[in-house]
Amino acid sequence: MFHGETAITIDDKGRLAIPTAYRELVARECGNRLVVTYSPFDTDALYIYPFHVWEELRRKVNALPKAKRANRILQFKLVGAATFVEPDSNGRISLPASHRAAVGIERKAVLQGSGDKFELRSEQAHLSQVHQVLGDEDMDDDVLGLPL
């Protein structure tokens, strides 16, 4: 559903404008309901899910056994930190200050479509991700089967 990347500016009130190319899609497919939460895989990213996608994820994550540490981390980052947002009339959503501070997002950021969600990182964190490369040790059967 979401793909591509867009350099954006977070305004003084902590809002980001959803790129115009996605505003109609967010309105139609998401009912203008989004969820902002932490990435469970990166310390420098926020995930922005359509509400219906996050609801299914929430259901699955909450069903995991709480005795396992990894499951508790998933529950903390994906469910416990979830904030519901709706675009205003100008297509902007408000990002909680605590979320922005935790991942180091200030003014300049990059919003990247990642299939069923957006990923949001500071410009510096985005560049760090872009400069990562896969080594031979990363290449397993799952990766090797992709048409790279």
Give the model's confidence band at 30: pLDDT under 50 very low, under 70 low, under 90 confident, else very high. Answer: confident
Segment 98-133, tens digit of pLDDT: 999 999 999 999 999 988 999 999 999 888 887 877
Q: What is the CATH number of the domain that holds 127?
A: 3.40.1550.20
- End-to-end C-alpha distance for the chain, whole angstroms: 21
Counting the structural domains of the chain, the total is 1
Go through the chain and tell me how many residues it has: 148
Q: Print the domain residue range for 49.
A: 5-144
